[in-house]
Structure formats: C-alpha cells, structure tokens
Structure 1
Amino acid sequence: MSASPADALCLGIDTGGTYTDAVLWSEAAGIVAKAKSLTTRHDLAEGIAGAADAVLTRAGVPHGAIRLVSMSTTLATNALVEGQGGRVGLVMVGFGPEDLGRDGLSGALGTDPVIFCPGGHDVHGNAAELSLEALEAALPELEKSVTGVAVAAYFAVRNPAHEIAVRDLVRARTRLPVTCSHELTSKLGGPRRALTTLLNARLISMIDRLIDATEDFLRRRGIEAPLMVVRGDGALVTAAFARTRPIETILSGPAASLVGARHLTGLDDAVVSDIGGTTTDIAVLDRGQLRLDPEGATVGGMRTMVEAVAMRTFGLGGDSEVTLRDRSLSTRVELGPRRLVPLSLAAMHHAGTIDKALSRQLLSPTASRLDGRFAMRTGMPEGAASGLSVTESRLYMQIGDVPEALDRLLVSTSQIATLNRLVARGLVHIAGFTPSDAAHVLGRQDNWNPAVARLGAQLMARRRNAMGQPAAETAEAFSELVLAAVTRRSAEMMFETVFAADGLEEDAPASHALVQRALDRNGGMARFSISLDRPVIGLGASAHLHYASLPPLIGNACEIAPDADVANALGAVVGQVRVSAEARVSQPEPGVYRINAGEWLEDFGTEEEAMAAAEQAARAMASELAGRAGTDHARIEVSRDIRDAVIEGERSLVEAFIVATAAGRPRVAS
C-alpha cells in the first residue's frame, strides 16, 4: 500500500433508493466520467454493476487502473424514514418496562421482542448482580424469529462487562449478529443508547447485502482496490468497519452530497438540498465547514446518538407517494413520506399487467382509493419473512413477483394495515402514482413509460373532493399540481431547516399561517415576505426539474452544478478517514482516580497518573481505530474537557474527558 498520487483513479459509487450513481475521479483530472443505473433492491449487484461498468466503459480505462473504491448510500436513511428493517430482539440489562416509554424507544421497537434482565452498573462502573435466565429461556425462539440482537445495559458506557456477557451468550448459543450499545457510543442516556443499538441491529442485514454486492462486483471485474464507505459525518471507513456499525451510515448519502456540493461549487455559505427518489436531505454550509449535530442525527423522527452532519431528512422525492387530502373542499396534493415504485417504472417490466388494470379501473363508473395501486414482492430471501403473523403470512403468500392490483388483491379494509406492515418489513413494494409519473405525463422526463403514467394521472384526476368536484380536469392539469406541490414543499422544508439552525424549530414551523402567507406572496392588509440569506445548491438528478421555480419562493438564487446529479458519488471519493476515541477519568472516592476507556477500567492513585494514562489509552484506541477504518498515516489530535469543583477551598475532580481524533486519506492499492 502507498499514498495516493494526484493521478490515481478512484471509483465513487452511491446507491440510492431509485438510482445507483458512479463517477471516476482523480485529484489531477477531476471527474473523468459518470453514469447512472436503476437501483435493484432485490439484487443490489445489478444496479452497482450497471453504473460502474458504464462509467468504466465511458472512461475507456482498464479495471486494474482503479486504485480506490468508495461508496455512499441512502439505503439506511431510507429504511429508517420508511420504517423498514429486519426484526430485532432487544435485550435490556438493568432497565425496566417503563424505560421503553422514553426517547421514542417503544415506537421504534414496535412489535419486536424485548427481554429484561437484572444487572447493570452505577455511574462509577460498579456492578449490580447479573442474571441472564430470561435471555437463556428466550434464545431458542429468538433464533427462529429475529435477524439480529441489540444489547443495552444500564451505565454500560461506564462498564461494558454485562453487555459483553450477553453478547458472548448469544454468540455461543445462536448464529445471530449482536450489537452492543457501548460499541456505538460513549454517551449517557440509556433508552436513547438502546434506540441507537436497536436501529443498528435492524440495519445490519441491509448493509451486509450492499457491501457483499459491491465486493462481488469488484471481484468479478478483477478490481483489487480497497473498498471504503461514507459515514454520516462525511468521513470514510473500510467496508469491514461499516459492517459492524451500519447505523453510522445513516445520512451517509446526504453527508457525501454535502462534501460533493462544496467540491463542485466552491461556495462556503449555502443551503444544500439533495432531492432523490425517496428523500430530500437539506443542510447548511457555514464558512465552508460541515456542521455536525451535537445531539445526534435525527432520521424518520427518531433521535439517535450517531454523530452525523447536521442535516434534516424529509420523506419527499421523485418517487414519493401522491395522495389527496380527504374531505378537502379543494384539491390538496399530499406527498410522501413513503416511497412507491412509479407506475411508469413498474410498466417497464410489467407493461401488459399494469396498463390493463389501469384501463379496467378507468372504465368503472366510480373512483376507488385503491385505483392505480399494485403490490409485488421485493425479492428478499425467504428467511426475511420470519416472524410474520398468520394474517400477514396469508396475504404475503398471495403476492407474487408480478404486480397485483390492490382492488383485486384486498378483500377488506383491514387488509390495508396488514399490507402496510409487509411494506414496512421490506418484503413488499407498492406501485402507484408519483411525481416521476407526473413528469412523464408532461414530457419533462422520458426514461420510463409515459403512456402508463398518463393512465395513472387520469385515475387520480377523477377523484372527488368534498364539493364533489374532480381533482383536476385533465391528466396534464393534475400532473402540474403534483410538480408544483413538490417545489412548494421543497421551499417549506428549506425554511424549516434554517429555522432550526436559527434556534426557532419549536416556534416557527413552515406550516405556520404567517409563513404560508409569505410564501403565497399574495398578501392582505398585513403583508409578509420571507427569504433565505444565502443561495441554494440543488443536487440530484431531478433538481433541475423541481427547483426551476424555486427562486421566487426562497427569495434567493438556486445553483445547480453541471455534475449535481452525481454529487453523492463524488463526495464518496474526495473525503478522508476520520475516527475518534474517548477515555474518561472520574473520582469515585477520595484518592482514587478511575479510567474508563473502551472495555478497560483501572484505578490510579493520582490525577496526573490517571490523566497521562487516559491520554495514552485514547491515542492508542484512535490509532487502532484509524487502522481498522482504512488509513495508515493518521494525524492524531487530543482534546481535554476537565470538569472540577472547589469545596471549602479544596479542588476536587468531577470528571475529565480525553478525546483523540485521528484523520488521514484512505490507503490505496499499489
């Protein structure tokens, strides 16, 4: 291995919810070539191979010339926004059922099983008695019904011994992957640690599939270059590192897009908005720096302990579900947050099935809420369907690989909720009308089937509002309403993001009547105006389509770079490895200074000895992490946060945090 020369060719890949992008880049030449391919969720290797092969062909370079491969992804982000992921068993040591009600843990857990075991530690790392009888009794059933196990113990960040005991027991008795909370964060707050760990375990199989698909593609093409993955803070880590901590890849794609946006435009101050197929990710660039969220990333309404770019993710994209607000006196288009397979895309593989069903529904004298909707399997392995209820299993067996019209599939209203649970498990796709279909109807997009898109628009247009009037007179008129709604909602989301950055999140949502009046620009006796203080950088393949009418709404310019459609893939290769490790020194009793560094606890007789040993431990952990994360030449910086108190003239150490941060460019193939 050696340091990367300026002309080393790097392959960047971004696997999004709809498209997989690829770029070939070198420091000396910039972007050499770029390409896109549809993301194939049932077999991610197809989409990866399609994009990567295309970019290599366009560049005309041999596969052996690739020195580094780096990837970003929105799959983890999309899964959390859409409520998807594997079924997980949560083991909580030292906690009780009442703790599930904190920090959104109960909502995130859903119907997944939870086991409570006595044990845990106090704030100084002293242990309570541990009993794993409940876990031992539950393991046979867990092995059959879940895809992974998450472990959170009381004050595990002060002493992880009980989490390690649980981990060792699960690994000895089952083949299930195990995630422990102390491996992911050193922050206090047990229920939120448990939430973060639960989500990590839920995402392991998804990220494993992505990395396996990428490694298989590289192997088949003879590309012997290191594979890196972008974390949510924009840093790069090795694929092996990412496999164990997939939760850190939430906001991976958005973070890469922010890095790519700065690289493409050179703007230091901007609002960066990346609209994809499933989500829109918005962040603020300040003086050229990526701002990290000190409270942890929030995705899908869940606040995690993952250090990530301060970015807000909204369920809005080209493939967002289009619905009409019930009982509205006028046509009100609502979008997302769920992603649908666009009708025009589904028809590319099932044209006869889709258009026949849509034509049949148009002949019916009455409109149905199920019109224009289809269900089909995602292609997940059969094992992914473990743990289904009887009603879920019965409906799942009726759904195949060919889209089935919902008005023929579902025989009762209650089955809609059952179907939605199958979608949330990632087992079933719903196809329906989306903004991408609207763009096809209006001739602003032409890569899929516009005729089927128009049939879908006709079905939506004839739906009635509370006044008995059709939603729109024509398919084209309805499609215009949908695209206008995307632009308007995009502007609202941008203002919500800057309101939060200004500290106004609770007091000034974009839905506030005064904000809405300002956006409408039609005033009254009291006139309002609203604008951003900086331009917008629009990213994503459809940014030019949805952001063309944005400037009047935001009161500023919107810049769309020539390569904005592959900013994520570019950001994946221009970043660097960055990891940190923390050691803590506390004083559990006078004259005793205790170090807690990872899984190491030790007492010292003086503060000076403890602080020196803690810094040495933090440096060693950061260096080891940097090597695992993919760099051989890390620069290490150490910071200290010492908290003390003076009581009756005597200074006493409360606690000290020593953080070592290691950074460097990733290693590349010789």
Structure 2
Amino acid sequence: MGLGIDTGGTYTDAAAVNTATGEVVATGKSPTTRHDLAEGIIAAVRQIPPEVLARIGLVSLSTTLATNSIVEGEGAPICLLLIGHDRELFRSYDLHRWLPTANLTFVPGGHNGVGAECEPLDEEEVRRVAREEGGRVSAFAVSGYFGVRNADHELRARRILEEETGLPVTCGHELATELDSVLRAATCALNASLVPLLRDLMESLGRALGELGVRAPAMVVRGDGSLMRMEMALERPVETILSGPAASVVGAQALAKLSDMLVIDIGGTTTDLATVRDGMPRLNRRGASVGRWRTLVRAVQTVSSGLGGDSQVTLDEGSRLRVGPQRAVPVAYAAWAYPSVLDVLREGLDRVSRLEPRDLVMYLLARPPKGLELSAVEERILEAVQTGPQPLWRLATRDPWVHFYLSNRNRLETSGVLARCAFTPTDALHLRGLFQEWNVEGSELAARQLSWYTQTDADEVVERVQVLVRHAMVRAMAGMLANGSEEPMAEPDGRLMELALNRNGSALEVQLHSHLPIVGLGAPAAHFVLPAAQAINGAPVLPPHHAVANAVGAICGSVVIRETLGVQPVYHSAGLDSYVVTGPFASVPHNDREAAIRDAQRRARSLALQAAERAGAAEIEVSVEVVNDEATPGPGYGDRLYLGSTVTATAVGRPRFASELPEPEVEAEEALW
C-alpha cells in the first residue's frame, strides 16, 4: 500500500493506493498550511482510516515548495564558484543576468571540450572563498567550464568547501549534461539555494508521519514525473520544480488509463495543462523555466495560468469583470468560518455607491506573524483583523496609510500572514447550486456588490465569471494543442480565436475541435473543465478520484534515472589522434572508437544502475542508447567527419517498499527526518 501526498498552493491532498492493483483505497483533502506544511499534511492524511495507514509501505510527495521559492525569490543565501569561466566574457555580454545570485567568484581552472585541463585549479582561492563566505551563506554551488566533460575540478572544490565549512555543496555536473555553461551554473545555483528549504520540508514530513504512526520510506516527485528518495532530493532539490504538474499527469494516466490526452488540472490557485502522446508526457526540450529563471532541469512541458477556483474577481477601469491571477479566500468560505462577515458584506452593500471596488476586499489573519519585525502600520492591521475579516474601507478609516499599504504588494500578504477575501469562481458555483459547501448568502451579497459597478444584477455577474473562466481555459487548451510537438503557443488570440469563442453577429463561424480527449482533474473540474472541453469539441473525461489526482500520481510514478556520457574525438594537425570518454570523472583516453563507445556504454550503465538503487528503485532494467554525431566535410576530406557520440543509459524501476528494506536502513531514513 502506498500513500501519495500533494501539497498544492491551496489544498493538500492525500491518497492511499493499492499499488499492485491501482485501486484508490481512501483519500483526504485539507487546506495547505504554508507556515507549517506538516499541519496540512496531518489534517489530510488523518482522513484516511487508521487500518489503511497501518498498511502503508511507501510515502511519496509532490510539492510546490521549490517552484514557489524560486518564483518568490525566497531561496537561501548561497555563493557560486565559477571554475574556468571568463570574467571578461561575463561582463561584456552581461551573462550575470542569467544567474539567480550576485554572490559569485571566478576561480582559475577548467577544462576544454575533450576534458583536458586548461589551467590547474586554484585550490587556495577556493579555501579563501570558503573562509570569507562560510559564515554568510547557507550553501555553495560549484560549476566548472566543461565540467560535464571532466568533473575533477568541481569535485576537488567541493571537498575543500565541505572540509572548510561543513555546508552543503552542489556541483553542476550532477544536475545537467548539456554544454550550456551559463544555464548549468544557474541550475546549480538554484539547487544550492533550495537545499535548506528541502531539509525543512523533510523535517515537516517526518514530524507528520511520526505523529500519524506511518513508518515507511519517503520519496519525492521530480519535474518529469519520476520518483527519487528524499535523501537524493536533498542533494538535487531543483529537480522537484514543477513536480505538482508532473504528478497530475502521472495521476491522469493512472486514473483515466488513456495513452493520448490533454490533461487540464484546475486547482484553487492555478490551472496547469499538459499533453500525453503514446503513453508519454511531453517534456520540455530546453529545460524547465520557473519565474524569470531558465534551468536545464528535465520537466513535463506544461502551460500554467493564474486561474483557479479561488482566483479573485476584480473590475478593470471600464468596470468590466476580470478573473485572476491574484488568489483570494472565497467569500462563501469566509462567511461560513466567520459569521460576522455577513454583517460586513451588508454594510459594504449599503456604502457601495461611495466606495471604490478595491475598498470592498476583505482581509483575514491566515497565520501568526512569527519571525517578522512589524511596522506600526502592520501592527494596526493585524490588531484590526484579530476578531475576523475586515474590509479595506473599514481598515483605512483607522489609518489612511493602511489603504496605501494594502493597495500595493505588501509583506503581510507575500509572507502568508494576511489573506485577502473576495468574490471568486467558487462563489459563482455556490450561486449556481453546483457546489454549496459553505455559505451561499455570503456569495450572493458579494455578487450584488460587484453588480452595482457593472450595472447588471448578481445573476449576470455569475454568468460573466463562468464565461470568463471557460474562455480562458479554451484559449489555454488551444495554445497547448495548436503546435503539436513544439512548445505551446503562449497566447492563441486574434480575431479567429475570438470568433471561436463568440460570433458576435459575424457571418463567419469558427469551430475548434480537439483530436485528443480532455481529462479534467481537480475538485472544480466537473464545473469548469467540462464546459471548456465542450466548447473546444473535445471528448471530456472526468476520471474517478479526479479531485485528488495529484496525490494519486505522486505514488504511482516509477524511478527513472538517466546518465549521459560522451565519446569525443581528439584531432591534431595531422588528423584524428584518439578518443576520450567524458563524464563525471577524469576523461578516459582510447585509441579505438568502438572500444571507447563500449567503455562509455559500460560506465553509463553502471552509473545509471547505482543511481537508480540510491534513488530507491527495485527490479531495475537498464537500456543504453548510442547516438553518433557526424557531418559531411568539404571536397577532399572524406565522406563523413566523426564529431562524437552521446551514450545515454536509462534505468527504470519501481520504488522499494518498507518491507523490502533491512531494518537498519528504515531507521537510517527516519533519522534523516
């Protein structure tokens, strides 16, 4: 029995799955507690019967922690060492802009394209950096020029940094095999900044599982949907970016049992789309991008929009309704949790003609402000919301500075202390009678407030919100489908797209038709995804347990490890001289091409097998692929010119369960928590 857990931006889901049959045995859902993820995990998992939890032999987690930390710029402070990189080249081409840290040092050393040393590593410079930065940072990142062709300098620098500081050190060659030295350095730096955060996550998960009495090895979903042990995730946390969307794709495959589909997962905060063809999710060929940073991390190709069930409905300057991307607590929930909210809404409706739409937004205390040194304005705001949600107009009457503070990006909201409350698509569902978990009257009062500005009625507000959500989803689906195997179109707008959504009296009718079935995931999928699928003439599929598909996907994945080595020809003035095998070791010379390729195959297979075992795999199968790179030279230089070979070993296995681990190994895993 396996337990999948997904900590999303709004909800934490749990699913107990019989991994032998694929049957979902029990599920749970609870709001995500951003200040302490353990609280939300415990609340979700406790909804699973104790007799089921007693049979859990494996736990797997998908999380937005790494993605959110990168987007919000909340990674730990690090120092990046660039070995063998050209300082002047960085300055001339402003390459610093691609790096997520300004704290970097250029260290003499590095290798060339065939793994030969260009300059000895300056070990004294590495020691100097360790002494100066060791007390100011939480981790180090080391990325060498052509480090993927010879990792010797990176490994030596890591040993020195670890000996001098005891801090975690990330090496670039461990994360990517591509030759893009700048993006590899960026990936390495991001990884180092996430190590302390993943350690906190591990501790939170360990506390939660310990309190629940679950004694099983823990794994984490990677961005490509595969799994790795928590211990490995600590070393390469950057590979967990986009693990939430990846888990949803794996969950869709497990629940819908289709080999070709468009997956659309609508949550409280975002909507994520991905495609599956021939049983394989489309991967991002260039590496995943998160926020403003590009990486070399393999991840599922997704399109994500700031549209969810809890997206705030606002008004633009023309009093037209807009949905998202800002998240808000639904008014229905606030009125259910705080009965005083109904009086606040009624008073706001009486004052609506004298207020701006922004003034009607309410604020509530989401968590205690631990660790924050509050300003006077922040203290007054938090004092006012102690008794329950308060609208901006009421907060501003106490202090005019409050209006300015809350009308802009502010620390109380970004840190999760304060949450805004406003009309959302979830409120629209309450008024349509499609989902009435909380207080319908609260939703109605909020809709009436908006209707005053739109000069319509509450029903028209609800209808317009539903249309906006449907149209946004259709645009996103069209963009995902339009480019086939290429990257999705960001904005498939234009006149034809608008005609497909609404003819508006035009003599031309445009229809969209999806050749892929559209699989809806997430709690609101039945109400939002299905209408959008019908608008695009796609076959809608709503699989069982779609509301917790991410948690199901978290436990249904496999361990997949890829190790890529190179065989490089060494040319001199007289022609081809020899061959070298390059990888995370000192380059290995060979006189014969076939012997070099065989050696690379053997080494790649061994590395992949070892890594898969360390990632927690059992019943491992390894396949090796060799791709030769040749070119056609000019006249007189022969038929083909050999440029090298890429040797990739792929190890695939299922995750090991607690019953397959010796007792000391289980205890060692728990000690990590």
Please state which band the TM-score falls in when normalised by the shorter chain.
Answer: 0.7 to 0.9
Aligned partner of 1:617 in structure 2 is 603
Q: Displacement of 1:660 after TM fit?
A: 0.8
Letter in 2 for 1:68: L
Unaligned runs of 5+ in 2: 660-673
Aligned partner of 1:3 in structure 2 is none
Q: Displacement of 1:579 after TM fit?
A: 0.6
Cα RMSD for the two superposed structures: 3.7
Aligned partner of 2:151 in structure 1 is 160
**Native 8 Å contact 1:88 1:148 kept in 2:** yes
Q: Displacement of 1:584 after TM fit?
A: 1.4
Q: Secondary structure at the match of 1:241?
A: helix
Aligned partner of 1:515 in structure 2 is 497
- Provide the C-alpha distance between the structure 1 equivalents of 2:95 and 2:484, rounded to a whole number of angstroms: 23
- Superposed CA deviations along residues 217-258 of structure 1, whole A, max 9, x for unmatched, are 222333222212221212121111122222222222222222
Aligned partner of 1:497 in structure 2 is 480
Letter in 1 for 2:583: A
- Provide the C-alpha distance between the structure 2 equivalents of 1:50 and 1:555, rounded to a whole number of angstroms: 39
Aligned partner of 2:662 in structure 1 is none
Q: Displacement of 1:323 after TM fit?
A: 2.8
2:315 maps to 1:324? yes
Partner residue of 1:540 out of 508, 522, 526: 522
2:1 maps to 1:15? no
- Superposed CA deviations along residues 369-391 of structure 1, whole A, max 9, x for unmatched, are 35314375656863xx7xx9xxx
- Provide the C-alpha distance between the structure 2 equivalents of 1:609 and 1:28, rounded to a whole number of angstroms: 45
- Provide the C-alpha distance between the structure 1 equivalents of 2:219 and 2:257, rounded to a whole number of angstroms: 25
Q: Secondary structure at the match of 1:51?
A: helix
2:184 maps to 1:193? yes
Letter in 2 for 1:340: A
- Provide the C-alpha distance between the structure 1 equivalents of 2:447 and 2:9, rounded to a whole number of angstroms: 23
- Provide the C-alpha distance between the structure 2 equivalents of 1:494 and 1:628, rounded to a whole number of angstroms: 38
Aligned partner of 1:272 in structure 2 is 263
- Provide the C-alpha distance between the structure 2 equivalents of 1:557 and 1:646, rounded to a whole number of angstroms: 48
- Provide the C-alpha distance between the structure 1 equivalents of 2:369 and 2:179, rounded to a whole number of angstroms: 36
- Provide the C-alpha distance between the structure 1 equivalents of 2:212 and 2:467, rounded to a whole number of angstroms: 44
Letter in 1 for 2:261: A
**Native 8 Å contact 1:586 1:656 kept in 2:** yes
Q: Secondary structure at the match of 1:262?
A: helix
- Provide the C-alpha distance between the structure 2 equivalents of 1:512 and 1:394, rounded to a whole number of angstroms: 49
Task: Name whichever of 495-504 and 360-369 sits farther off.
Answer: 360-369
Q: Relative to 1, partners in 2 of residues 1:167 and 1:420: Cα closer, same or farther, differing over 3 Å?
A: farther
Q: Displacement of 1:629 after TM fit?
A: 0.8
Aligned partner of 2:664 in structure 1 is none
- Provide the C-alpha distance between the structure 2 equivalents of 1:104 and 1:434, rounded to a whole number of angstroms: 42
Amino-acid identity (%)? 34
2:210 maps to 1:228? no
- Superposed CA deviations along residues 147-193 of structure 1, whole A, max 9, x for unmatched, are 54444443332233444455455545556544332221111212322
**Native 8 Å contact 1:362 1:459 kept in 2:** no
Partner residue of 1:340 out of 323, 328, 340: 328
Q: Displacement of 1:437 after TM fit?
A: 3.5
Q: Displacement of 1:198 after TM fit?
A: 3.6
Aligned partner of 2:29 in structure 1 is 36
- Superposed CA deviations along residues 419-450 of structure 1, whole A, max 9, x for unmatched, are 44665566765444432344345443333454
Q: Secondary structure at the match of 2:619?
A: coil
2:583 maps to 1:597? yes
Q: Secondary structure at the match of 1:197?
A: helix
Largest Rg, 1 or 2: 2
- Provide the C-alpha distance between the structure 2 equivalents of 1:135 and 1:476, rounded to a whole number of angstroms: 69
Unaligned runs of 5+ in 1: 1-8, 463-469
- Superposed CA deviations along residues 581-623 of structure 1, whole A, max 9, x for unmatched, are 1111213444342222224433333333332322222112111
2:63 maps to 1:70? no
Aligned partner of 2:626 in structure 1 is 640
Scaled by the length of structure 1, the TM-score of the pair is 0.83
Q: Relative to 1, partners in 2 of residues 1:630 and 1:555: Cα closer, same or farther, differing over 3 Å?
A: same
Report 1:260-409 matches (<5 A).
260-300=251-291, 302-326=293-317, 328=318, 331-336=320-325, 338-345=326-333, 352=340, 356=344, 359=347, 363=351, 365-367=354-356, 369-374=358-363, 376=365, 382=371, 400=382, 402=386, 408=396
Q: Secondary structure at the match of 1:374?
A: strand
Report 1:653-664 matches (<5 A).
653-664=642-653
- Provide the C-alpha distance between the structure 2 equivalents of 1:102 and 1:500, rounded to a whole number of angstroms: 32
Letter in 2 for 1:44: L
Letter in 1 for 2:279: G
Aligned partner of 2:507 in structure 1 is 525
Task: Name whichever of 288-297 and 70-79 sits farther off.
Answer: 70-79
- Provide the C-alpha distance between the structure 1 equivalents of 2:91 and 2:75, rounded to a whole number of angstroms: 19
Q: How many residues are aligned here?
A: 637
Q: Relative to 1, partners in 2 of residues 1:593 and 1:630: Cα closer, same or farther, differing over 3 Å?
A: same
Scaled by the length of structure 2, the TM-score of the pair is 0.83
Q: Relative to 1, partners in 2 of residues 1:63 and 1:580: Cα closer, same or farther, differing over 3 Å?
A: same
Q: Relative to 1, partners in 2 of residues 1:520 and 1:341: Cα closer, same or farther, differing over 3 Å?
A: same
- Superposed CA deviations along residues 462-491 of structure 1, whole A, max 9, x for unmatched, are 4xxxxxxx2253445333322321121111
Task: Name whichever of 313-322 and 365-374 sits farther off.
Answer: 365-374
**Native 8 Å contact 2:152 2:586 kept in 1:** no
Q: Relative to 1, partners in 2 of residues 1:561 and 1:584: Cα closer, same or farther, differing over 3 Å?
A: same
Q: Secondary structure at the match of 1:273?
A: strand
Q: Secondary structure at the match of 1:665?
A: strand
- Provide the C-alpha distance between the structure 2 equivalents of 1:516 and 1:24, rounded to a whole number of angstroms: 43
Partner residue of 2:38 out of 35, 45, 51: 45
- Provide the C-alpha distance between the structure 2 equivalents of 1:410 and 1:618, rounded to a whole number of angstroms: 65
2:554 maps to 1:561? no
**Native 8 Å contact 1:355 1:455 kept in 2:** no
- Provide the C-alpha distance between the structure 2 equivalents of 1:103 and 1:256, rounded to a whole number of angstroms: 37
Q: Displacement of 1:571 after TM fit?
A: 1.7
- Provide the C-alpha distance between the structure 2 equivalents of 1:167 and 1:362, rounded to a whole number of angstroms: 66
Q: Secondary structure at the match of 1:411?
A: helix
Task: Name whichever of 31-40 and 429-438 sits farther off.
Answer: 429-438
Q: Displacement of 1:331 after TM fit?
A: 1.2
- Provide the C-alpha distance between the structure 1 equivalents of 2:246 and 2:562, rounded to a whole number of angstroms: 18
- Superposed CA deviations along residues 57-89 of structure 1, whole A, max 9, x for unmatched, are 4xxx25432222222234434555x53532443
- Provide the C-alpha distance between the structure 2 equivalents of 1:584 and 1:17, rounded to a whole number of angstroms: 40
- Provide the C-alpha distance between the structure 2 equivalents of 1:152 and 1:398, rounded to a whole number of angstroms: 47
Q: Displacement of 1:348 after TM fit?
A: 6.1
Aligned partner of 2:228 in structure 1 is 237
